[in-house]
Amino acid sequence: MNKIFLIYTGGTIGMKEDPIDGTLKPFDFNGILNEVPELRKFAFIIDSYTFSPLIDSSDVEPGLWKDLASLISQKYDSYDGFVILHGTDTMAYSASALSFMLEGLDKPVIFTGSQLPVGKPRTDGKENLVSAIEIASAKDRDGKALVPEVSICFNSQLLRGNRSTKVNATGFDAFISPNCPPLAVAGINIRYNDAVIRRSTTGELRVHDSLDTRVSILKLHPGITEQVVRDVLLGDGSRAVIIETYGSGNAISKPWFLNLVKEAARRGKILLNVTQCLCGDVDMDIYATGRALKEAGAVSGHDITTEGALAKLFVLMGEQSSNACVKALLETNLRGEISK
Ligand code: ASP
């Protein structure tokens, strides 16, 4: 009989309205089980673990990712798949992080949650949870998991975790993975996109749990001042800066900007160029404004999401003391996070 391990971290899916101040606050796991009796219809064993305290995902920190990675590795041999209930606000960050922290996965790790609490009549939580559990237990004829990846199951779609981003604060279609087709789509049947699903070549789980979080993000915009750019690019606290650029990786061509980028590179900072566009790729050779950034020392993020870039940097920097190695690995497709 299939065994699924369900991990509850918090999020709207398990929240209730506080009768006093009207805000949504988390309630315990039994509350979820009572609201989703459909779970009892599955012919497999579902064990669970509840984090304490339960949190709104706006409070997620890398410590939670380490706890999740450690829990999954402890239970890895005893279960066929893992489902993580998590708030939607930072789900794409957590799914990205786990994708890099868990190398060699041959079992599904599926994040899900909801926009409306499970107790509400129109909740999307039931369908999301039931689909996630079904997919987490799906196997081929040889008994191999159909989707041995870290993914997000939401609104009838299974998306690669490190390709996903939250794009809708209120609709049920909260997530997209603009540069990667869904891994599966749930209709009457669940259709699996085998051509896109990645499979581990080693089949041996390795956990990367030392994280270096010294990353800042510089989002370019018309009117950004030299002082603001200086503070972010040259700030002492960061080892890497993600520069969110325009279009295909284009930045300001003014000498003050390029000089600051060069100075940051000279000081040894890792500079990663990620586009603000949802779809498409960074190509620093198309426009002079992109080329100048490349010559100043920035590395291309290709079509990675900002969430994916942040998580990849945390994990790579946690493991590599050499910035040259981190830069080389940023250009390498490690977990399907870039189309390269
Ligand atoms: N604020 C909630 C959270 O991220 C929103 C949600 O779960 O949808 O925990």
Q: Which residues contact 277 (CB under 8 A, 6 or more apart)?
A: 246, 247, 248
Tokens of 99: 């994708």
User: Is ligand 1 within 6 A of the CB of residue 11?
Assistant: yes
Tokens of 87: 């708030």
Local mean pLDDT, 10-residue blocks, the chain (340 residues): 93 85 79 80 89 93 98 98 97 98 97 93 94 96 96 98 98 97 97 96 92 98 98 97 96 94 95 97 88 89 98 98 96 96
User: Is ligand 1 within 6 A of the CB of residue 182?
Assistant: no
Residue 241: strand, helix, or coil: strand
Residue 55: strand, helix, or coil: strand
- Note the Cα 172 to chain centre separation in Å: 18
Whether omega for the bond prior to residue 53 falls within 30 degrees of 0, making it cis, is: yes
User: How far is it, in rounded angstroms, from Cα 268 to Cα 273?
Assistant: 16
User: Is ligand 1 within 6 A of the CB of residue 124?
Assistant: no
Q: Which of the listed residues 23, 27, 88, 111 should we mutate to test ligand 1's pocket, taking the one with most ligand atoms within 8 A of CB?
A: 88
User: Which residue in the list 12, 50, 245, 305 is annotated as catalytic?
Assistant: 12
Please give the pLDDT value at position 28. 73
123 is catalytic: no
Tokens of 230: 């200086």
Residues 77-112, buried b or exposed e (16+ Cβ, 10 A)? eebbbbbbbbbbbbbbbbbbbbbbbbbebbbbbbbb
Report CA(230)–ligand 1 centroid distance (Å): 34
User: How far is it, in rounded angstroms, from Cα 103 to Cα 100?
Assistant: 7
Q: Which helix (H) or strand (E) holds 293?
A: helix 288-296
Please give the pLDDT value at position 220. 98
* CB-CB contact of 57 with 88 (8 Å): yes
Q: In what order do the strands lie in the sheet with 157-160?
A: 45-55, 3-10, 81-85, 109-112, 150-154, 157-160, 184-186, 190-192
Return the amino acid letter for 70.
S
Task: Look at residues 65, 137, 58, 61 and name the one whose alpha carbon lies nearest to residue 95.
Answer: 65
* Atom number, ligand 1, closest to the C-alpha of residue 89: 4
- The pTM score is 0.96
Per-position DSSP letters for 162-193, written without gaps between them: GG-EE--SSSS--EE-TTS--SEEESSSEEE-
* CB-CB contact of 230 with 340 (8 Å): no
Structural domains in the chain, CATH included, are 3-207 (3.40.50.1170), 215-330 (3.40.50.40)
Please give the pLDDT value at position 255. 94
